[in-house]
Amino acid sequence: MPGTLYGVGVGPGDPELVTVRAQRLIRAADVVAYPTARAKQPIARGAAAPYLRDDQVELPLQYPVTTESTDHPEGYAGALRDYYDAGAVAIAAHLDAGRDVVVLCEGDPFLYGSYMYLHERLADRYATEVVPGIPAFAAASAAAGTPLVQRDEVLSIIPGTLPPADLRARLDSADAAVVMKLGRTFDRVTDALDESGLADGAVYVERASHPGQRVAPLRDVDGKVPYMSLVLAPTGARAAAREDERGTVTVVGLGPAGPQWLTPEARGALASAEHVVGYQTYIDRVPVRAGQARHASDNRVEADRARHALELAAGGARVAVVSSGDPGIFAMATAVLEQLEAGNGQYTGVDVRVVPGLSAMQAAAARAGAPLGHDFAVISLSDIRKPWEVVAQRLDAAAAADLAIALYNPASKTRREQLVAAREVLLRHRSRETPVVLARDVGGDGEHVEITTLGDLPVERVDMRTLLVIGSSQTRVLDGGRVYTPRTYPG
């Protein structure tokens, strides 16, 4: 009978952190395999050393490269592939001879563990068992005395080997983060943490649980660091942002609905804010954070909200003003800047930033296909802040120019006649068969998207949660119901 393959996590390096089950399997195994590098003591074997027998077969699997270059024709990836292929062959020979093989793995075998690559090559042919181990970041958190996450917060485990832009995006969206695989990546990891506002509250941990363990604030670490080190950016790390980041108002676009449309930059801005200001419905979409004040108000007091945010920032606070969709499209970014100007120097020193969001018209258009694929106009039918005559004039001009048109605020409970009048204006220049996308509550529980025509537009079903996209003369509806406006215009 073939032997059994065991992938055994031995934790971060301290033999006392090896689980009881792992100890038992190590003692009982016929063969113990482990990765090793040239001229270095294998960490996994060191953790398992007290549980090894003198009569066991040891199978060291020496890495072909660590930090040096390789002459393999397929580079580093090719050299490692051949390494794992050869290791699997060596292990399989023992399994075929009926010997049980334990493969030691630092940390946990299935969390960036070297064992998983052997598992992929052998588990379909042999009886296999995987024993979890304490991951390095858990030992690091304990060594630093730093809790990572609480309540509904999410921990992100990020490899420092990511490209800088990807690393920054992951950190921006993280409640709390662990960045592993440092070594040569340390400088760019530090830069990304700095740009994300996490560096001041981050903790560096080197060789957690080893005799040479080192724990220090990230800001105190420079120069070369070993690969077996990591950075903890725990919950609340953004609260330790630099003093020059205080006194800011960041207007944040939440997207049309739901966390799936919130950008990493927006997540980071919300996480670092001391105060969140906004309409109650939008405030409810922002995760609650310990120590963060929330100031909710009615949707009709935009100027008051903007002034309140600026006053808080003038006092030195970091303030996020939340807005649905994109804050610069009929939304709070303009309201804040209007009040900043009206303050006549009252808010001197306050820095106003705008973080874009996915707009409602983009979400609605995407649900239908690509109706805004060529030149288009965006018009609000609300006459609260501009006369209806101006709205009608702009509708007429956009229709005469044969632009596709996205209509915001098409109707409310007390304002129905404008949409009827708008359709009449559009029909001066468009046929009754012009495609129209009617999109209500896109991304929400009541989402409804339908394709109709300008002549058959169901005015009675349109409200303030509806966005309309009126096609141009070139807009087409495919057999499957997808709508698009060609990128090329005739003539």
In tens, the pLDDT along 454-469 reads: 999 999 899 888 999 9
Token duo for residue 410: 């098409």
Q: State the amino acid at position 282 in one-letter form.
A: Y
Q: Which domain holds residue 62?
A: 5-133
Q: Is 432 inside any structural domain?
A: yes
- Which position has the higher pLDDT, 4 or 443? 4
Residues 265 and 227 in one domain: no
In tens, the pLDDT along 421-437 reads: 999 999 999 999 999 99
Which among 133, 160, 191 is the end of a domain? 133
Query: How many angstroms separate the CA atoms of 376 and 358, rounded?
Result: 17
Q: Is 490 inside any structural domain?
A: no
Residues 477 and 368 in one domain: yes
Query: How many angstroms separate the CA atoms of 309 and 350, rounded?
Result: 10
Residues 198 and 292 in one domain: no
Which among 133, 157, 188 is the end of a domain? 133
Q: Is 491 inside any structural domain?
A: no
> If 0-12 CB within 10 Å is exposed, 13-18 middle and 19+ buried, where does residue 427 land?
middle
Neighbours of 28 (CB within 10 A): 13
Number of domains forming the structure of the chain: 4
Q: Is 428 inside any structural domain?
A: yes
Residues 168 and 253 in one domain: no
Give the pLDDT band of residue 242 (cuts 50, 70, 90). Answer: very low
Query: How many angstroms separate the CA atoms of 265 and 172, rounded?
Result: 5
**pLDDT of residue 5 exceeding 50:** yes
Residues 189 and 281 in one domain: no
- State the CATH number of the domain containing residue 17: 3.40.1010.10
From 321, 292, 326, 298, select the one nearest 309 (Cα to Cα): 321
Residues 73 and 142 in one domain: no
From 47, 26, 29, select the one nearest 207 (Cα to Cα): 47
Q: Is 343 inside any structural domain?
A: yes
From 424, 437, 448, select the one nearest 472 (Cα to Cα): 437
In tens, the pLDDT along 281-301 reads: 999 999 888 788 999 988 778
Q: State the amino acid at position 487 in one-letter form.
A: R
Q: Is 489 inside any structural domain?
A: no
In tens, the pLDDT along 354-408 reads: 999 999 999 999 999 999 999 999 999 998 889 999 999 999 999 999 999 999 9
